A = this chain, B = another copy of it.
Amino acid sequence: MESYMKQQLNHYQEINNEKARLLVSCPDQPGIVAAVSAFLFENGANIIESSQYTTDPEGGRFFLRIEFEAPGIREKIAKMKETFASVAESFQMTWSITLASELKRVVIFVSKELHCLHELLWEWQSGNLMAEIAAVISNHEDGREIVESLNIPFLYLKANKDIRKEVEAQQLKWLEEYRADVIVLARYMQILTPEFVSAHPHKIINIHHSFLPAFVGANPYKRAYERGVKLIGATSHYVTNELDEGPIIEQDIERVDHRDNVEALKNIGRTIERSVLARAVKWHLEDRIIVHGNKTIVFN
């Protein structure tokens, strides 16, 4: 199995060996695209995919994502970043250039309900999530078997609100030890402290089991049942310190009717949660998401 995981990672790195992604955010003004594309051309890069968005044609903010291919990018990226810094400065850009072959390290938090974990592992095995799954952290033992069968470390720690501080201290140590780039709350049912959240801005992806902002908070399926809605949904968002108020990445819904009781809603909901979370994580891993205020721009 270890060989399988190694194989998978090698495969990802190989097909992405010469690819990189440039993300830019700056005040809108004429000439940005001209300057950026001239820079890329001069550096021997071929643009594979390019998306842009301006909040407002008049005095708005400009966002750009370019995926490009450049022979020898792994060797020359440091030099390229240095050169780009001066372009960036003249346009007051916030920016990043990342190698597609440098896989992000994901740590998944999970509790007793395993459907989202299962989906992420399955999508990962299918080659749809280009990442290294560094570890799975859980306050229950239920996930251990499937996780360890894939040779991924499974880190168990009992958790509840009375021992939150101590638990988070250990979790933060693990996140550092396993060098987490992104944290996925795959139906981890514990609330995180502001300290924990602030330590990972726009790095914690949660799945909420309603089409937010409907049914913010606990027991959304029960409340959906009581309200008699004809649609149920799920929302993936970045975690902020406002509960269920972070920037929304993706949402989806399914149609339900009067015959569906709370149990049926949960069941239908699980399928939505699985696909919504998997899409959100995929887009994050591919650097397709820019957070702007409390909203996301998703270049998918």
Q: Taking each of A51, A52, A230, A249, which has the highest tally of chain B beta carbons within 10 Å of its own beta carbon? A: A230
Contact between chains at A297 and B248 (CB < 8 Å): no
CB nearest neighbor in B for A146: B149
Q: How many copies of this chain does the complex contain? A: 4
B-side contacts of A128, CB under 8 Å: 267
CB nearest neighbor in B for A275: B271
Determine whether A80 belongs to the interface, using a CB cutoff of 8 Å to chain B: no
Identify the A interface with B (CB < 8 A): 28-31, 33-34, 37-38, 40-41, 44-54, 57, 69, 115, 118, 122, 126, 128, 149, 211-215, 227-231, 233, 247-253, 257-259, 267, 270-271, 275, 294-298
Contact between chains at B57 and A52 (CB < 8 Å): no
CB proximity of A66 to chain B, nearest CB, Å: 9
CB nearest neighbor in B for A39: B34
Given contact pairs A38-B38, A211-B231, A250-B230, A33 touches B47 in the complex (Cβ within 8 A):
yes
Contact between chains at A126 and B270 (CB < 8 Å): yes
Contact between chains at A213 and B211 (CB < 8 Å): no
| Cα(A184)–Cα(B37), bound, Å | 39
